[in-house]
Amino acid sequence: MRPHTSSFTSSVREVVAAIPKGKVATYGQVAALAGKPNASRAVGMVMSHNKDTKAVPCHRVVGSTGALTGYAYGDGTSTKKQMLEKEGVKFKGSRVDLATSQWMPK
DNA sequence: AGATTGACCGTGT
DNA sequence: GACACGGCCAATC
């Protein structure tokens, strides 16, 4: 894919790109799948500088409580929430209903 | 090369 | 449930 990018960044993008439509994953979850269970912050930074929004649906990555943290495109979290709802993700007020919409990788 | 920051998480109060 | 504190990781200044 991107032999020019760092290993961790590459792994994160790969994991995020693997999130199925209608599901979401938490930063900690993505970090763990990328190989660093505690690198949730680094994941956020990768997303922040992520230019491949088309290939990496960063809007499917939410906080551990389902809070729509971040997203620097569109109208911010507002647009993020709209897109997720549109894809079939259930919401609990202003947070994602992780009980039913959290991505559970095999 | 060193210090700071940032789209976080878990725990305690 | 909301606020405060500390700890982790990588990218940026």
Per-residue pLDDT of A16-63, as tens digits, reads: 999 999 999 999 999 999 999 999 999 999 999 887 888 899 999 999
Q: What's the CA gap between A104 and A19, in Å, rounded?
A: 9
Domain that holds residue A33: 7-87
- Active site includes A29? no
Pick from A102, A11, A90: which is nearest to A56 by CA?
A11
* Cβ of residue A17 lies below 7 Å from strand B: no
Q: What 3-state DSSP class applies to A102?
A: strand
Kindly state whether residue A92 falls inside one of the protein's structural domains: no
Kindly state whether residue A95 falls inside one of the protein's structural domains: no
* Cβ of residue A11 lies below 7 Å from strand B: no
Question: What does the DSSP 8-state code read for residue A73?
Answer: S
Q: Report chain B positions within 7 A of protein CB atoms.
A: 5-10
Nucleotide nearest to A39 (CA to C1'): C9
Whether residue A2 is predicted with pLDDT greater than 50 in this model: the reply is no
Kindly state whether residue A24 falls inside one of the protein's structural domains: yes
Q: What 3-state DSSP class applies to A39?
A: coil
Domain count, chain A: 1
Compare A76 and A102 and report the one with higher pLDDT.
Answer: A102
Look up residue A94 and give its two tokens: 């202003």
State the average pLDDT for chain A. 90
Estimate in Å the CA A87 to C1' B3 gap, whole number. Answer: 42
CATH code, domain carrying A30: 1.10.10.10
* Cβ of residue A24 lies below 7 Å from strand B: no
